[in-house]
Structure formats: structure tokens, C-alpha cells
Structure 1
Amino acid sequence: MPLLVTDYSWTQTESTVYINVPLKGAKVGKVDILCTDEYLKVHFPPYLFEAFLSEPVDDDRSTAKIGNGVAVVSLPKRNNKLWEQLMITTNDKEKKKEIRERALQKHQEKLTAESKAKAEKQHTDKKYALETMMKLEREERESIQKMKDTERERTTAELEAWQLKQKEKKKAEEEARLKLQSQKGHGDKVNKSRCSGGRKVKLDGRGSSEAESKKKHVDLPAPRVPGNIQVSFTPRVFPTALRESRVPEEEEWLKKQAEARRAVNADVEELKDLTEEERNPDWLKEKGDKCFATGNYLSAVNAYSLAIRMNRKIPSLYSNRAACHLKLRNLHKAVEDSSQALELLTPPVAANAAARARAHVRRGSAFCQLQLHAEGLQDYQAALKIDPHNEALQTDTQRIRDIIQGTAADPETH
């Protein structure tokens, strides 16, 4: 059975009634408010407030505001006058039950009408969108057809002009051929007369003289001089031998690095007051590195954190922040940042080997300082697998093994 709220308060003007209901620690999302012209319910389990109003109100304009541990309900009056009392004074349970059921039924009908109106509006919007889309598609088809017709007309006109030009050209060639034949006949007569006069002229197979033939050859343009264009390509050089190289992984790593540089998130609302260089992850990383070098680890964390908000895909930001957390003894945060850096340092290739080794060492160091030596040993072994000739790594790894086996004290590993 719900607990009835009795410590409410109310005020009024000639046009509105205001009711304040204390929520007794209830969350906003768990408050249920129902209002009709004669009934008000504020339900936040296990508490219940009911008001059987003495005068009718305009429930369509009624509002409720929830905040600071209180629900303020504003009820506009149907009749502008001051009420003598907020609720009816009857103790007739049947009458109250009847009012409550009538209010619930009215509220249900209102919800149904709103749902139906919403569905009709969605149907109307969908129909309008469909009609608009069909109209746009029709206009687009008409535009395309118009372009086709215009292009067809232009092509037809060009074809007709070309055909006319060809006819004229053919006609001109025919006239030139006839004229040439006429001149040739006349030339033959002249040559015969010259030959009869004792002069000999050497003719080629087409009836032209040797001098004219040489002149034609001289007038021809010289052939173009051939040449070569040298094209050079920058070779892809991998640090491993070709038979051992992992070209696809290398290419994927380079692609991820390029994408990470482009993934700048400078549109965050609270970051828009920063200067241009303060929105640059590279500048922030350099600033964090300088702070770390001077021992100002908190400032370095702030710089790396702001850079991460700008770009969450650069692994060195997480790895460097993990180093700061190690110095500040924020060991769990160091583990989280090192793990995030290792997730971004994939696929494992030679280009990110040193960064992966550093991230493993930092996470392993945090694990060991948290007395989780088995987990720390796994990270140191992973780092040693990447850099097997590192003597410091070999010494630290053996020291952790000795601690696990109980043959050495528990020093801090770095």
C-alpha cells in the first residue's frame, strides 16, 4: 500500500493554482504525474499524492516541473476566481473512486488520441515525403530527358553540317581532279613539243618531272626526334628481410597512423575557447613531454588528457600518460592507459616495436607495484620478446621471477 504525502503546500492566483509536492529523494525518472480537470496524482513509489480538486482546471495547459527534490505542478483555472480550498472535503470513498476511475479513463482516452494523432501525422509526413521524392524524381527524369533531347539535336545538327562539309569537300576535290586532268593533257602536249625540239625531260611514273619530285620531298616536314622519359619510384624499405617481411601489416599500420592524424576532434563545445595551438594534439604532446622531463607530472597528465580529448587514436599519448601515472602512483590508471596504448599499437610491426615494448614495461611495472607479479612478469616477458638483447629488461624479468619463486625481496620494478 502506498504512503500518502501530506506535507505538500499550495498557493494560488486568480488564474492559476500551484502545488508543491516534496519528492523525498526520488529520482526524476521515477516520478509519474497524471492530471485531469478534477484530479491530480503524483506517484513516486512508495509515496503517493492525490488531489481531488474542488474546482475544474484546464488540464491541457497544466505543467509540471521537477527539480531540487520537489515537483511543482501549475494548474490553470477554468474560472478566474480564488478557491476557498484546494480539494473537496468529502470522505466518500466511492465518490473518490469514481473520480479516480473517470480521470484514469480520460487520461487513457487522451493518450490514445495523442497516439492516433501522432500516427496520422507520421503517415501524413511519410506521404508528403514520398510525394516530394516522386516529384523530385520526375523533375530529374524530365531534366535528363531534356538534356538528352538537346544533346541529340546538337549532335544531329553537327552531323548534318559535317555531311554537308564532306559533300562540299568531295565536290571541290572532283573539280580539282578534273582541272588537274585538263592541265595534265595540256602539259603532255607541251612535253611532246619540247621533245620534238630536241630537249629531254625525265619524268617520273606519275608524269611529274624529277625536279618537281625532289621539290616535293624537300617540302615534307622532318620526322620527330624520339625520346625517353625517365620515371623513378621511391622504394618501400622494410627493416626486415623480404622473406620475413610483413608487408600487409606494415601497410595497415601506416594506414592507421594516417587515419589517427586526421581524427582530430576539435568540435567539442567546451574546447572551443582554446587557442589554435592548444587544440593541436602534437603541440599538447610536446608540452606534456617537457612537463614530464622537469618532473611536473600533474601538468603532463593534463596536457596528455587534453590531447586525448582532441584525438583518441594516438597510442603515444596513452603510453606517456601511463608513465606519468606511474610516477604519481596512480597504478590502476597506469594499467588502463598502457592497455589502451597496446590496443592502438596494432598490428604488431617493426615500426611500433619500441612503443609496444615501452607500454608492456609500464603496465608490467604497475602490476608489480600492485603486488600482481604474475601479470607483471607476462608483460616483461612480452617486452623482452620484442627486445631480447636489452640487458635491463633481462635483469628486471629475472628479478620478478625470483620474487614469484620467493628467492628475492619485492623491490619496485621500473
Structure 2
Amino acid sequence: MNCAEIYRQKNYSLSILNQAFNDDSGSWWWWTNIIGTLTFGLIGLSGNLICFLVICRFSLFQHSFVEYLRALAFFDFFALFYECLQSLNDLFIYLFSKNFLNFRFSFICKFYDYTKHSIILLSCWTIVGLTIDRLILVCNPWSKKWPNLSRRLCNRYCAKCIILIFVFFSLLINLPQLIYKEWICRPTGFQYSAMFHNLNQTKNIQYKQICSCRVSPLLNSNKMKFFIFWNNYIFHLLFYTLIPAIILIGSNAAILKRLHAPRQIISQQNEHIRSKLTITLTLVSLIFLILYFPYAIVQTLSYFIIRYYQSHCNISLILSLHKLKRLSELLNIAALCINFFIYILGVNHYRSSTIKMLGLHHFEIFQKYLIIDQQKNLDTTNKFIEKQNSKIFTQTDSSNTKLLNVTSSSHGVYSTSSIYNNRLSKEF
């Protein structure tokens, strides 16, 4: 018995079948995802832009972690931009039946999906690079044989080279997006979906159609199997989930163990600053690990459950997977926008630089969050302004005195001086 007969026997409604196989627009989990994505997206876009500008303008560029933070802010910004753009497009399709991501040509949609998946993967692996950089600096595993090796590896030049290697491999891994995706239009309705029926049905054209960038239905079975294998095993399971998770868990465990181990402290203040910075960067990767990977895990598990446990006819399971995907995707968006606030709360230098860049240092409530050097500069500037104002006031007062003396000598001291003093009292 096929799935269509099972659905007829159980008398599922058309809306349930559409939510399971075609489009879950209008459901509560869809609205939660759309509203949450746009909210987190706007916060994250502004936060990552501010973070990028602060790091570029106020950082010490000889440090390796600065390059990773700058690249992370850049990749997170564009990853959030893609997510917000897609959510706005889904919202416009649902409310107004307008698709402003109507690419029309396959090469445009291929490039769009290719860059989107590459940037998402780069955002993940930049966190990995930052964590490994901290691991080498804090733990210094080669200190006995090569005492200065960690400093040679963790510098600005090596960080740039590692980021370029990540870019190259991300572009290489996502090549199937560029090869096998096409701009496909098919009729709306669950009965035309590839999951419900078969892939050849997507070539039919009827009155109302839904167009998107998807796997071409003209692919042969071997190419189709390869794309499914690559998308679920290579991209989501291996490079997006397992390898980064293993590296992040192991590295952060070693860093936290090292930070809490007793050690000889040469400079208490420098050690405290270094430990605080390391804890902040470790917190970035831990929160990223908690929020970022549930989506990749759900995406991979959904493929395993439906394919290997023959659950493709189980409507309740399919709907549950849809809900988990939408909600875990929202956690993914939150991970992209939260890094800025961790930097601001955890690193005094970035918090102080952000306050100064936004012009908030003119308000007394924010001045206590400035670092000592910037507080001294602000005090020096205020004293200089007060000195200039006092000079101007002194010059004005002396000129008024001269004018008073001239007037007194011409028209009488008592009467004119009293009139002038009354006018001065009104003006000042």
C-alpha cells in the first residue's frame, strides 16, 4: 500500500498534507520562525556591523584573534542578511503572493545558493579557527620542545592564511550547489511535491506555480543519490556538525582546564586580562556550539529517520520534524546575532570603543564603562574645553571693563555705570 492510499484511509485534511509535503506557511511554527528570524536578524545585522567597525578602528592588529573576530563579524553579517532576505520573501509570498527572489535564470539562483551555503559554513569554521588559536596560546602544547612556536603560529599573518584556507575549502565543498541546482517551477499543492510523489512530477506546468532553486528533476538517479549523499552526509553531518563539534568540545575542555589549573603568575593584572579575554572567546564558541548545531543535527536525523526507518508515510512524524527544523533554525539565527553582545559584555576594550564610536561617552551614565586610557583622554578633553571657555570668558570680561571705563569717562561715572551694570546683569 502506497502513501496516497494510507492518507485517503486516514482522511487527512488538505491543509495537513500541504503542511507536511509542500508548504507550512501560516502554521504557528512558521510564524515563530519568521518573526524570530526578522527580530534576531535586525539585532544581529546592526550588532555585527558595529562590531566589525569597532574591531577595524580600535583594535591592536598584531593579535591573531582580531583577524578571526573581524572575519566572524563579516560572515555572520552576511549569513544573517541571507536569512532575513529569505524570511522576508516567504512573508511576501504568504501575504501578497509576491516573490521578490524571482531569479528567472538558473545561473543566478545557483550563485545565490552557492554563496549562501559557503558563508554559512565559513561562519561555523571561523569559530573553530578562533578556538584553536586560543587553545594553542593558552595551553601551549609545544612549550618544552619549541617554546616560541605558539607565538609564531598565533599571529596576524597566520590567522589571515587560515581564514583564506577556510574560504577556499568552503567554496570547494559547496560546488554541488553550483552544479546541480536549477530554477524550477512546479504547481502548488502537496500532490506535486517531490517528497509526496516523484521528482518527474515537478516538470508539469499548470495555472499557479511555485518557483524556487532546487535540485534539477532532469538529473539521473546516480547524480541524485550523490547530491543527497553530499547534502546530508558531507555538508550537514560531517563538515557542519561532527568535525566542528568535536574540535570545539575538545578545545574548550582543554582551555577551561588550563584556566582553572594552578599556575605561576608573573603579572597579576596581565594574567587577569588575558584570562578574561580567553573566557570571553571560549564563551563565544560554547554558545555557538549550543545554539548552532541543533539545526544540522535535526536536518541529518530527519533524513535518516525517513529514509532508513520507512517513516515517509507518517504524517505526525513529518510534521514534528518540520517544527523541530523551524525552531532549531531560529536557534541558529540567535547564535549568529549574539556574538556582538558577548564581546561588549566580556571585553572592556571593545565595550569602551563601542561607547566612544557611538558617541555615548558624552553622557555621564556611560563614562564609567570606559577604559582608563579613554577616561583620561576624556578628562583631558573636558579640561581643555573648560580652559578654552574660561579664556573666552576672561577676554569678554576684560573688553567689557574697557568699554565701561571709556563710557564712564565720557558721560559720568555713576549714572552710566549703573545703567551698564543693569544691562550686564540681564545679559549674564
TM range (shorter): under 0.3
Bigger helix share = 2
Higher relative contact order (CA 8 A, sep 6+): 2
Bigger strand share = 1
The TM-score normalised by the length of structure 1 is 0.17
